[in-house]
Amino acid sequence: MCVIDANPPVEQHACQWTSNRTGTITSGSVRTRLTYLNAGLIRDLVLDLEPISRLDFGDLYTCTASNSLGTTTAITMVTESSTEVLLINGRHACNNAVNWIHMNILLLISSQCFNIVFFSN
């Protein structure tokens, strides 16, 4: 999830996710779903990757947001966790969230890193 806190607010067309492997991610990209949530000055650009596989580990995802004051980015990597983690909605697994915040004159951005665990029987 890319959390954008900006004044003036960042509009949907001014924020995006990109992948180091596939480039710009759009709503129609394979295996992905983008959701834009508008909560006033705080906007969330949620990237949902399904299904996750071991081939995704190490991939870098960059969230970019722009407003009249400038542009900033946050980068997160898909990593595998060595410990059992709490499942959320049966799809995502989170452990040791990583936040990255860049100060750019009222343009703040943070990104959550999700760790994925595979269990074998």
pLDDT digits (tens, 9 = 90+) for 80-100: 766 655 554 544 444 333 333
3 state SS for the chain = CEEEEECCCCCHHHEEEEECCCEEECCCCCCEEEEEEEECCEEEEEEEECCCCHHHCCCEEEEEEEECCEEEEEEEECEECCCCCEEECCCEEECCCCCCCCCCCCEEEEECCCEECCCCC
When the pLDDT of each residue in the chain is averaged and rounded to a whole number, the result is 71
When divided into structural domains, the chain yields a total of: 1
Q: In this structure, what CATH number is given to the domain that contains residue 22?
A: 2.60.40.10
Q: Please report whether residue 63 resides in a domain.
A: yes
In a domain, 121, yes or no: no
Domain that holds residue 41: 2-116
Q: How confident is the model at residue 18 (pLDDT cuts 50, 70, 90)?
A: very high
Residues 54-85: pLDDT tens digits? 888 888 888 888 888 888 888 888 877 666 55
Q: Report if residue 92 sits inside a domain.
A: yes
Residue 27 located in a structural domain: yes
Domain-located, residue 107? yes
